[in-house]
Chain A
Amino acid sequence: MTDTERKGAVLPVAKEPGDTVLDFLRMAMTKEAADAVILPMKVPSGDSYAWILMNDISLLDDAVPIVPTMPVQGAKALRSLTRKGPGNLKVIAVMRPCEIRAAMELSKLGQVHSENLILATYDCPGAVQLQKYVDDPAGGDERFSGMLKKGNPDDSAKSVCHYCENFSIFDSDIHFGYLGLSEKEVLLVPGSGKGTEFLEELGLDLKKDLSSWEKGIEEIRADRVKTRKNSFEETEIQLRDIDGLLSVFANCIGCHNCQSACPICYCRLCYFDSETAEQDPDALITAAEKRGGISLPVDRIMFHTGRMAHMSLSCVSCGQCSDACPVSIPVADVFSYVADQTQNTFEYIAGLNDGDPLPLRQFRKAELPGVHELVKDADAEVPSHE
């Protein structure tokens, strides 16, 4: 994923990387290269954060760019701002890689217009689970500092963070790199043409060699790859056949929090809430009669498999779904496992800036040539029921 020919700029380091980011943003706003920025700020109750669009430089003093937890997926903030069009303001948004990747997917779906946005990311060691943070903000802050130092998530982090390979630079416009660096430096690296232009306009010298930083990132990534493999193997066993699926989702109450928290789920009215998906009561009881009983509300598993069918090609494994679930179902692990497979089937990488168009919207005459083989094999494996 990293372009080894890329060069970056070195930013003067303040106390913490987060402060460095703020200094850079102040400079950009002072030079009028940006009209406004989107950054997290603490909410009045002090136990969470909210995305704030600000053009008042003084407010940056209270902003926390590298934020310990993820209450609202950043792509949702970008969607609410640019759904109807790019507007006239030039805005820098500083978010986690998975948030910007989700925004790229939303871009392909007409829900984000990023022409006037500078999408900035930073090395992410993971994020503290939302509920854990809200219950004990001070503790959460401490854990997050630990993660920053190690460059890796600890057990307070979301489970997906442990196997995230996309935690550092990809092709967001600009990226702040600091993990795994031996000296206390913050690197500012452009990831796109727009980003390069932006940094050059600000007079930054893009000359720093990135190889030692990239080496450190690759070491962290190697860990994540291993964890990913293990996690998916576990998930596969858990989900084996319908009983496994029913068991994992046994406590689901059909609240749809997972769908609401998901940045990709952009529908105004979820299909599974619409009149079309509604079951006729008489038909429902007839169906119940065939089995002796039926669980209410109906179609909860159908909702999950349907949601997978609709969005797994764009899933960026941000983990918001698991955080939002009131009965602690590992939704993100299940969806990440499925998304990994569906994306691989189409050789599609979700979240890239100049990425391929969405697979299901493209007609390719020669597509999925191996499918009939897959189907034949699948048939052979299915055990006979009854």
Chain B
Amino acid sequence: MKDFEMRESGQDKKLRAKVGVYVCECGPNIAGKVDLDKILADLSELDDYQDVELVVKKYGFLCSGPGKEFLEEEIKSNGFTHLVVGACSPRDHDSTFMSICEKTDLNPYLYRIINIREHCTWVIDDKEKATEKAFSYIRGGIARVLRQSELFEKPLDINPDVLVIGGGISGMEAALSLSGEDRRVFLVEKTDRLGGVSIDLSGLLPGQGEVVKKKMESVTEDKNIRLFLNTRVETVIGFLGNFEIELVSKENAETTEIMAGAIVVATGSELFEPANSDNYSYSESDEVYTSISIEKMFSGEGEAKLRSGMKPSSVALIHCVGREEKNYCSGICCSYMMKLAGFFKNQSPDIQVTEFYRDLCLPQKDDQERYNEAEADGVTFIRIKDISTKGTDVSFEKMNGEKGEQSFDMVVLAPAMEPSADTEELADLLTVPLDESGFFQEVHKMTNPVGTSTDGVFIVGTAHGPKGVSDSMQFARASAGQILTRLIPGEKLIPEVKVTEILEAYCTGCGNCLDVCVYGAIYSDDSRGISVVNEAVCRGCGNCFGSCPSGALRTKHFTNTQLYREVDEALR
């Protein structure tokens, strides 16, 4: 009778780990501030782990050429299963050492850099204490690295084409900057013509109106730009490099499906309705106009006339309309109001032009000069703290409390720039948040003004916030720059590896994670009754992990176990 054990004893199958622990001297930065030999000796004597072999060494500058070669050779010849490097900040050299691992058989995610420079030697003067802390940190790092798992990059094919929503000056500029033989642009415009608002603007710079017309011609002639007029965006699904978009024609309700790798939102803005402010009351027959109507008159007929056909002999240009209500300055109105003052002066040198303003905003290069000129030309600038109009009768209170009343032939209001009416709907479609004023929210004012929290969706022009034509074009070029460098035809995109995954065995599909994901990276798989993470969209922020009561989510490379063990060991 033969008896066989169904399996060998588990003992024989245990993994033996061999961990390389390399401490960089970093010249005097580390070696001069801690007792390195003591650290190495203590680490070598660690008997915390059964079945784990530690190899502990030090080196001068691991980030130097010879240093990197040394490390690569050490990994290869020792056959390390894990690597810990005690050195500087990950910001400096995490990628350096990861690249070294990539040259060997050691998966770069089975390595960890431990910061004993910025966190220890650069902040602790006492050598003994610094030594103690550095030792504890590295000890924690060893515990952590032993719980890390291999992770692999999953390169994705991408589509280099771009969808531009909006055919105004920003959209056209973006389209022209992007289009090429190997990259098509789909330019979608909801009205029946290109040009947006800018087409109506009379020149600030000589021939500005022609700039817009020239752009329109270029766009129409560019064979790599496919133009959709009278078209809406219906649905958008996907992520950077792989968007699937459905367009609907407003004329015949026909749908077109397109694929693109990036989306540029150039949907422009609208003007605040002065009637929504308590300060301005006028009827249709009054000679009260918004600035854009006057621009149209000047750019169209070359003159701004009253309804009677006469030119006005006095005009009030009122700045900051709606500024209090909206609680932001639109930044461009003072500039163009001075331009309009100049036009009025041109058409009637004796005209009385009075500009009422709360604050003057003159950020453009030649604004100051134009202001000086306007004053010299006889334009009256009055700073007010309160103003209201009834028809063309203006009542105001100056900063010093002096009140005044004046009647004018014509009143021109400079309303604040507002988000356009379909901003909210589009924001929903693209899962892009809006800022406090209702414009599309950029990632960061300074470091990333054109990006949004949905990677691959960019905002340009006044859809982002109030600005003039030249700034709008800058934004358009900036977004094109980002797309040109990130979505390279023929090259794959490597999404973030350290993302969150959901363990199917534990997930009950309650949707907590879905609701708190700001990137829209989690979706519900109803057939399995669970939630699933789209790893291409996930940024590994961990919001979802915090929301799951059962711990069914694991953020790769930052699991609870890894973090707990590191802390436990470091604090021993």
Contacts and interface: CB of A to CB of B under 8 A. Distances in A.
Nearest to B554: A276
A259 to B, nearest CB: 11
Interface string A257-280: 000000000111111001111001
Interface stretch (B19-27, B99-107, B509-517): B509-517
Contacts of B507: 268
Interface string B551-572: 1100000011100110011001
Contacts of B559: 276
Contacts of B206: none
Contact of A267 (B506, B511, B516): B506
B512 A361 contact: yes
A363 B512 CA distance: 12
A358 B514 CA distance: 13
A286 B572 contact: yes
B45 interface: no
Interface in B525-572: 526, 529, 547, 549-552, 559-561, 564-565, 568-569, 572
A83 interface: yes
B437 interface: no
Nearest to B516: A361
A63 B193 CA distance: 72
B505 interface: yes
Contact of A270 (B510, B550, B572): B550
Interface in B129-157: none
Contact of B505 (A268, A276, A277): A268
Contact of B48 (A110, A269, A274, A282): A282
Given A286-B572, A361-B516, A269 B550 contact: yes
Give the interface SS of chain A, mostly helix, strand, loop or mixed: loop
B470 interface: no
Contact of B564 (A271, A280, A282, A361): A280
Contact of B551 (A84, A277, A280, A282): A277
Nearest to A286: B572
Contact of B561 (A275, A361, A362, A363): A275
Interface in A144-177: none
Interface string A339-372: 0000000000000000001101111000000000
Nearest to B513: A361
Given A274-B550, A276-B559, A280-B565, A268 B506 contact: yes
Nearest to B524: A110
A283 interface: yes
B95 interface: no
A270 B505 CA distance: 12
Interface residues of A, number: 28
Nearest to B527: A84
Contact of A266 (B510, B524, B551, B569): B510
B508 interface: yes
A111 interface: yes
A286 B567 CA distance: 13
A266 B506 CA distance: 11
A283 B568 CA distance: 6
A256 B529 CA distance: 25
Contacts of B512: 109, 358, 360-361
Nearest to A267: B550
B547 A280 contact: no
B549 A268 contact: no
A84 B505 contact: no
A271 B561 contact: no
Contacts of B547: 360-361
B572 A362 contact: no
B508 A110 contact: yes
Most buried by B among A270, A282, A311: A282
A85 B506 CA distance: 18
A207 interface: no
A274 B549 CA distance: 11
A363 B518 CA distance: 10
A271 B549 contact: yes
Contacts of A83: 508, 529
Contact of B549 (A310, A357, A362): A310
Interface in A281-309: 282-283, 286
A32 B255 CA distance: 44
A112 to B, nearest CB: 11
B435 to A, nearest CB: 11
Given A268-B550, A269-B550, A274-B550, A362 B508 contact: no
Contact of A110 (B506, B509, B516, B560): B509
Nearest to A270: B550
A276 B561 contact: yes
Nearest to A275: B561
A361 B515 contact: yes
Interface in B90-136: none
A276 B560 contact: yes
Contacts of A358: 512, 515
A268 B508 contact: yes
B460 to A, nearest CB: 25
A271 B510 contact: no
A280 B572 CA distance: 12
B510 A362 contact: no
A269 B559 CA distance: 17
Contacts of A277: 551, 560
Nearest to A365: B436
Given A84-B529, A276-B551, A286-B572, A266 B565 contact: no
A363 B509 CA distance: 20
Interface string B55-88: 0000000000000000000000000000000000
A360 B510 CA distance: 13
A157 B515 CA distance: 39
A270 B559 CA distance: 17
B551 A274 contact: yes
Contacts of A274: 506, 550-551
Closest 3 A/B residue pairs (Cβ): A267-B550, A361-B515, A283-B568
16 contacts: A83-B508, A109-B510, A109-B512, A110-B508, A110-B510, A267-B508, A267-B549, A269-B551, A274-B550, A280-B564, A283-B564, A283-B565, A358-B515, A360-B512, A362-B515, A363-B516
Given A111-B508, A276-B560, A363-B516, 4 more contacts: A110-B510, A282-B48, A310-B549, A360-B516
